[in-house]
Structure 1
Amino acid sequence: MFSLNNVRFNNILDIKHLKIPSNKVTCIVGESGSGKSTLLRLLNNLISCDSGEISFNDRPLSTINSVELRRTIVMLPQQPVIFPGTVKDNLLIGLKFAEKPLVDEEKLRQILRMVSLSKELYEDSDKLSGGEKQRLALARVILLDPEVFLLDEPSSALDEETERIIVEMLVAYTKDTNKTLIMVTHSKKVAKDYSDNIIEINQGKVVNYTEDQV
């Protein structure tokens, strides 16, 4: 799926060689400031490497139209954007931006149940807590139905039990739908318990890559 060769960016990342497989759950771990979020942004071509090459399905990212790429690879940042309006408005706005068909309210309620967000569609999104906003943004991303999810600390604002529920849902959904999930997490336990592959980054370099051989 993704292949990185001699990738450097702004003295933040220096990755000699890395492959991230398709249809797997890959967790990226490391200390704060090690370059984890920067790696996600490079994979979505939100930023470009200073040298080296990143390929997606054997195509250099630099040759793929950005709009096409971001319909296939969707990134959720650690501080997700919540738009003014209702819960429903926030769920549908991603589909509108991506020029994808809108869905009915029952589908929206189904997505909210997936992320354990017990809110009405017409509630004001501004009144949600930090953890609720994080789950709303995650629901919006799931609704886009991309091939690849790039999630930056998707459970950072959640309590431990809700984090477990959300991560288990994400992993099950990824496997059931043959998606690819690449997730930055602060929790080595989450990475160990739920991922197929673990990439550990320290000071911009990959210091450990663990692949599930099962």
Structure 2
Amino acid sequence: MFLRFEKVAKRFGDTPENQFEVFSDIDIDIEENQFVSILGPSGCGKSTLLSMVAGLEGISSGTIQLEGEDIDRPGPDRGMVFQQPSLFPWLTVRENVMFPLKKNMSKKEAQSRADHFLKMVHLSKFRSNYTYELSGGMQQRVAIARALAMDPKVLLMDEPFGALDEQTRHILHKELLSIWEDTQKTILFVTHSIQEAIKLSDRVIVMGTRPGQIIADFHVDAPRPRERDDEYVISLEKQVMELLEKEINKVLKEELDDEAVSTS
């Protein structure tokens, strides 16, 4: 299997008394070239799981393997795109994309590669601009181009469009799908939006909370582009929403019970 999670758990805290379990027993197998979204309530560990794949967060127990090799540190085979673009404002658009390339290739090669991916995200005309001169959506496209320029085996995206307006998200959805079809990268995509997950993905993995766990794994058997008024899309969205509502209500009930205990 290309990307495998086996009995993965994450716990915070130094001692058993103050230990908090984010999630446990996460088992996922992801095939090469799949576009997989992860949905779940706040606090279920979606972003933490993605950070563990990136090698930015340690694994408490279990293993995450990419092509049979354990992941235990960051590496160029995994590219990360965050909700906030995390660009260098003192560098131009092209220089931002070139930045991680300069260690392994000449300046001319890095420029050529940066220009290739800036063209892919339709930012060639802005390559000499500074990033603070761009809109939020354009900055996120720079971040995507930078991640792709590293030629990672897996593209990790942590709510990359969450801070953008609906019209910009719609445009970037189309561009991301076009990039995915052109590059055939494996994408692991965290989102709070059910519609976004169904629109983009081959699979939608739903996580529950307290502790985090996988409660459903939907394979989206519908051709792209997917429209919101399609009967299949509406039916799948309803199924996912029902699952998430149960999880959210569970969290609310636990919080209300905790408040009642603390005030009694």
- TM-score class, shorter: 0.7 to 0.9
Query: What's the Cα RMSD here?
Result: 2.4
Counterpart Cα distance in 2 of 1:101 and 1:19: 37
User: 2:8 is matched with which residue?
Assistant: 7
List aligned pairs for 1:156-175, cutoff 5 A.
Answer: 156-175=162-181
User: 2:206 is matched with which residue: 196, 200, 210?
Assistant: 200
User: 1:78 is matched with which residue?
Assistant: 83
User: 2:28 is matched with which residue: 12, 15, 18?
Assistant: 18
User: 2:63 is matched with which residue?
Assistant: 53
1:110 Cα offset (Å):
4.8
Q: Write 1 or 2 for the structure with the bigger share of helix.
A: 2
Secondary structure class of the residue paired with 1:12: strand
Contact conserved, 1:4 with 1:55, CA < 8 A, in 2?
yes
Question: What is the identity, as a one-letter code, of the residue corresponding to 2:57?
Answer: I
User: 1:154 is matched with which residue?
Assistant: 160
User: 1:124 is matched with which residue?
Assistant: 130
Contact conserved, 2:25 with 2:213, CA < 8 A, in 1?
yes
Counterpart Cα distance in 2 of 1:206 and 1:200: 6
Counterpart Cα distance in 2 of 1:196 and 1:188: 13
1:154-203 superposed Cα distances (whole Å, 9 cap, x missing partner): 21232223222222222232233332111112221121122101111121
Counterpart Cα distance in 1 of 2:182 and 2:95: 27
Secondary structure class of the residue paired with 1:150: strand
Counterpart Cα distance in 1 of 2:36 and 2:139: 24
Larger radius of gyration between Structure 1 and Structure 2: 2
**TM-score after normalising by structure 2:** 0.70
Counterpart Cα distance in 2 of 1:147 and 1:101: 22
1:131 Cα offset (Å):
3.0
Give the gaps of 5 or more residues in structure 2.
12-20, 223-264
Contact conserved, 1:85 with 1:126, CA < 8 A, in 2?
no
Counterpart Cα distance in 1 of 2:47 and 2:4: 17
Question: What is the identity, as a one-letter code, of the residue corresponding to 2:217?
Answer: Y
Question: What is the identity, as a one-letter code, of the residue corresponding to 2:178?
Answer: A
Contact conserved, 2:101 with 2:110, CA < 8 A, in 1?
no
Contact conserved, 1:41 with 1:47, CA < 8 A, in 2?
yes
Gap change, CA 1:55 and 1:130, over 3 Å in 2: same
1:53 Cα offset (Å):
1.5
Question: What is the identity, as a one-letter code, of the residue corresponding to 2:65?
Answer: S
Question: What is the identity, as a one-letter code, of the residue corresponding to 2:202?
Answer: D
Gap change, CA 1:5 and 1:162, over 3 Å in 2: same
Gap change, CA 1:157 and 1:101, over 3 Å in 2: farther
Of structures 1 and 2, the one scoring higher in RCO (CA 8 A, sep 6+) is 1
**TM-score after normalising by structure 1:** 0.85
Counterpart Cα distance in 2 of 1:137 and 1:7: 29
Secondary structure class of the residue paired with 2:102: helix
Question: What is the identity, as a one-letter code, of the residue corresponding to 2:155?
Answer: F
1:100 Cα offset (Å):
4.1
User: 1:143 is matched with which residue: 149, 174, 182?
Assistant: 149
1:27 Cα offset (Å):
0.7
Secondary structure class of the residue paired with 2:28: strand
Question: What is the identity, as a one-letter code, of the residue corresponding to 1:177?
Answer: T
1:114 Cα offset (Å):
3.2
Counterpart Cα distance in 2 of 1:55 and 1:109: 32
Contact conserved, 1:111 with 1:143, CA < 8 A, in 2?
yes
Secondary structure class of the residue paired with 1:17: strand
